[in-house]
């Protein structure tokens, strides 16, 4: 009972609002701590992995990434939402792997795996994935998921204390919360709410950067064609592909407003 009361109070004092969507969320970890943790985690991933030597992949991912982050930060600043990415240090790297994978850590550190780039086909396709992953970071989905799991698994212990007393378990939890090692759009550990929200924000972000949002449904169709099997939607943390595409088409008019204004 005491733990339940504690968690209830923690939720009340840790409520934040996602930019643009207005959804209330539970984020109990200070942004500065998440940024430090994500930077350390990113360095670890790069050190243990292998950076791509494909100059076309590397240069294109960085080009699209820089274009999106400039557009996103400009929009946030103009709308008094700059705090959403305060302290972020955007980085863009490509790792050697056949996984259909990409992710963005809470501090803005982005990685694409070579395996997903042929599926992207061009800069618009890369922008679909990039916008989606940047959206996870802007909306603090990693912080939200880690806050929830630390409250459940560690009784609401502070991140700084968890890193002292349960360092490996905390790092493992962070990697899970950040979506590292999972397949984008298929097995990321985000909830359906997070995924749908990232789809929406990602569509707006790519449009703000001058990439055609109307190319997004086709990318997700290609992604689904690569999936050999999937559980029914109610058993999955991810939107059913047909529902995801239908939702993208539903919000497309708003995305096109950003695109035409560019």
Pairwise CA distance, residues 137 & 155, whole Å: 25
What would the pLDDT profile of 56-79 be if each residue is shown by its tens digit?
Answer: 999 999 999 999 999 999 999 999
Instruction: Tell me which residue range forms the domain holding 161.
Output: 2-261
What would the pLDDT profile of 78-118 be if each residue is shown by its tens digit?
Answer: 999 999 999 999 999 999 999 888 999 999 999 999 999 99
HEC string for the chain: CHHHHHHHHHHHHCEEECCCCCCEEECCCCHHHHHHHHHHHHHHHHHHCCECCCHHHHHHHHHHHHHHHHHHHHHHHHCCCHHHHCCCCCEEEEECCCCCCEEECCCCEEEEEHHHHHHHCCHHHHHHHHHHHHHHHHCCHHHHHHHHHHHHHCCCCCHHHHHHHCHHHHHHHHHHHHCCCCCCCCCCCCCHHHHHHHHHHHHHHHHHCCCCHHHHHHHHHHHHHHCCCCCCHHHCCCCCHHHHHHHHHHHHHHHHHHHHHC
Per-residue confidence (pLDDT) for residue 43, from 0 to 100: 92
Tally of structural domains, the chain: 1
| pTM of the entire predicted model | 0.83
- Better-predicted residue by pLDDT, 143 or 126: 126
Looking at the DSSP bridge assignments, the partners of residue 103 are 111
Judge residue 237's burial from the number of C-beta atoms within 10 Å of its C-beta, 0-12 exposed, 13-18 middle, 19 or more buried: middle
């Amino acid at each position: 009972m005491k733990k339940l009361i504690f968690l209830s109070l923690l939720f009340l004092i840790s409520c934040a609002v996602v930019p643009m969507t207005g959804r209330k969320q539970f984020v109990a970890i200070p942004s500065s701590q998440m940024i430090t943790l994500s930077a350390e985690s990113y360095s670890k991933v790069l050190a243990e992995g292998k950076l791509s030597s494909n100059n076309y992949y590397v240069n294109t991912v960085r080009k699209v990434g820089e274009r999106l982050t400039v557009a996103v930060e400009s929009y946030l600043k103009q709308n008094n939402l700059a705090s959403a990415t305060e302290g972020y240090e955007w980085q863009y790297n490509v790792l050697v792997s056949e996984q259909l994978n990409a992710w963005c850590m809470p501090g803005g550190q982005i990685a694409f795996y070579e395996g997903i780039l042929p599926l992207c086909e061009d800069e618009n396709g890369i922008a679909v994935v990039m916008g989606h992953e940047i959206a996870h970071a802007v909306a603090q989905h990693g912080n939200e998921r880690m806050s929830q799991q630390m409250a459940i698994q560690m009784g609401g212990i502070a991140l700084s204390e968890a890193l002292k007393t349960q360092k490996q378990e905390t790092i493992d939890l962070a990697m899970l919360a950040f979506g590292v090692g999972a397949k984008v759009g298929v097995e990321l550990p985000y909830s359906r709410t997070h995924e749908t929200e990232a789809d929406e924000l990602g569509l707006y972000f790519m449009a703000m950067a001058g990439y055609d949002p109307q190319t997004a449904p086709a990318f997700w169709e290609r992604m689904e064609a690569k999936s050999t099997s999937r559980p029914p939607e109610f058993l999955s943390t991810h939107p059913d592909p047909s529902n995801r595409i239908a939702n993208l088409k539903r919000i497309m008019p708003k995305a096109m407003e950003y695109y035409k204004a560019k």
